């Protein structure tokens, strides 16, 4: 779509970013349906309906696993929703990258649930049930490589989406603040991509009995992303103040 200043002035905005994607595109509708299906797969993967109190309490113990799995999937959905609302792109590159995100999400639904189940079981000292067991460090290494690859693919796809948006900034008429915040997202997804790649490489190259320690690298974004955000907030102060944005 070719935007004019008149059209842009009539758009709602959030946090200083004019929302060009308020009218949902067909690919966004499809991605929403795919994410909803992924959540449905989480639900139907739960145990059968409890028939007595003991089975009911066992089912309740599985709630933390569901919440963690659901939150992870919704985190990626919200990230894609934010991108879609900001740019409203539906070209071939954006469609291809969005479809890539959907494929990875659908493939990793069950591995994600099993990982969260094992994590809850381990963190609770065995009080919470798990459907997944790991019998050796080498198996843990394989798990780190598999799940790290999933995070890597997703991060690269989101990185590509923001790079695509920046490449058509003239067509979208992104103002300096919008361009800066787009670059901030590129930096953030670049950090996630880099740490995921490093995690996978370490797990693969180290001895199988200690390769799982490469998974610890995945914690680096918790430190690096706030640093990136702080850096870009400082850069924003150098721009001219923008009008107050509307809230959802």
Point out which residues pair with 18 in neighbouring strands.
13
Asked whether 155 and 192 are in contact (CB, 8 A), the reply is: yes
Phi and psi of 61, rounded to 5°? Answer: -65, -15
Q: pLDDT of 76-89, one tens digit each?
A: 999 999 999 999 99
Which residues have CB under 8 Å from 183's CB, separation 6+?
A: 166, 232
- Model confidence at 131: pLDDT above 80: no
Between 196 and 245, residue with greater pLDDT:
196
Say what percent of the chain tops pLDDT 70. Answer: 94
Going by C-alpha positions, the residue among 221, 213, 208, 203 that lies closest to residue 154 is 221
Q: Bigger pLDDT: 44 or 234?
A: 234
pLDDT of residue 25: 80
DSSP helix/strand/coil, 49: coil
Collapsed DSSP state (helix, strand, coil) of residue 17: strand
Residue 202 contacts by C-beta under 8 Å, 6 or more apart in sequence?
211, 213, 214, 217
pLDDT at 240: 60
Maximum distance among all alpha carbons in the chain?
64
Local structure of residue 135 (DSSP, 8 states): -
Please give the Cα distance from 77 to 148 (Å, whole number): 19
137-156: average pLDDT: 92
pLDDT value of position 188:
97
pLDDT computed for residue 140 by the predictor: 87
Within a 10 A sphere around the Cβ of 134, how many other Cβ atoms?
A: 15
Torsion angle in degrees (nearest 10) through CA of 17, 31, 148, 120? 100
Mean pLDDT, range 165-189, rounded to an integer: 95
What is the predicted pLDDT for the residue at 243? 43
Residue 245, pLDDT above cutoff 50: no
Give residue 101's pLDDT: 97
Confidence at 161, pLDDT banded by 50, 70, 90: very high
Count H helices and E strands in the chain, helices first.
Answer: 10, 2
Q: Which residues contact 216 (CB under 8 A, 6 or more apart)?
A: 199
pLDDT of residue 115: 84
Instruction: Read off the pLDDT of residues 29-53 as tens digits, 9 standing for 90 and up.
Output: 999 999 999 999 888 766 567 788 8
Q: What percent of the chain has pLDDT over 90?
A: 52
Q: Is pLDDT above 90 for 2? A: no
Q: What is the mean pLDDT of residues 182-190?
A: 97
| Chain Cα centroid distance, residue 65 | 18
What are the residue boundaries of the structural domains of the chain, listed by start?
5-236
Q: What is the pLDDT of residues 15-24, one digit of tens each?
A: 888 999 877 7
- Give the residue with greater pLDDT, 206 vs 46: 206
Q: What is the pTM of this model?
A: 0.89
């Amino acid at each position: 779509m070719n935007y004019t200043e008149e059209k842009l002035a009539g758009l709602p905005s959030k946090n200083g970013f004019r929302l060009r994607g308020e009218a949902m595109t067909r690919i966004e509708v499809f991605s929403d349906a795919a994410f909803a299906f992924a959540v449905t797969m989480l639900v139907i993967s739960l145990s059968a309906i409890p028939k007595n109190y003991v089975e009911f309490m066992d089912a309740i113990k599985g709630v933390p696993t569901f919440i963690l799995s659901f939150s992870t999937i919704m985190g990626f959905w919200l990230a894609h929703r934010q991108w879609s609302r900001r740019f409203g792109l539906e070209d071939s590159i954006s469609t291809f990258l969005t479809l890539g995100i959907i494929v990875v999400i659908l493939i990793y639904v069950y591995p994600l649930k099993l990982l969260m189940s094992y994590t809850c079981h381990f963190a609770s000292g065995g009080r919470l049930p798990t459907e997944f067991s790991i019998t050796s460090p080498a198996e843990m290494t394989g798990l780190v490589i598999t799940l790290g690859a999933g995070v890597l693919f997703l991060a690269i796809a989101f990185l590509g989406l923001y790079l695509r948006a920046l490449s058509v900034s003239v067509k979208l008429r992104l103002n300096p603040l919008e361009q800066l915040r787009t670059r901030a997202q590129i930096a953030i997804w670049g950090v996630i991509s880099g740490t995921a790649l490093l995690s996978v490489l370490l797990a693969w190259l180290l001895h199988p009995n200690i390769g799982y320690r490469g998974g610890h690298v995945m914690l680096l974004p918790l430190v690096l992303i706030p640093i990136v955000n702080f850096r870009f907030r400082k850069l924003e102060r150098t721009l001219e103040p923008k009008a107050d944005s509307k809230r959802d």
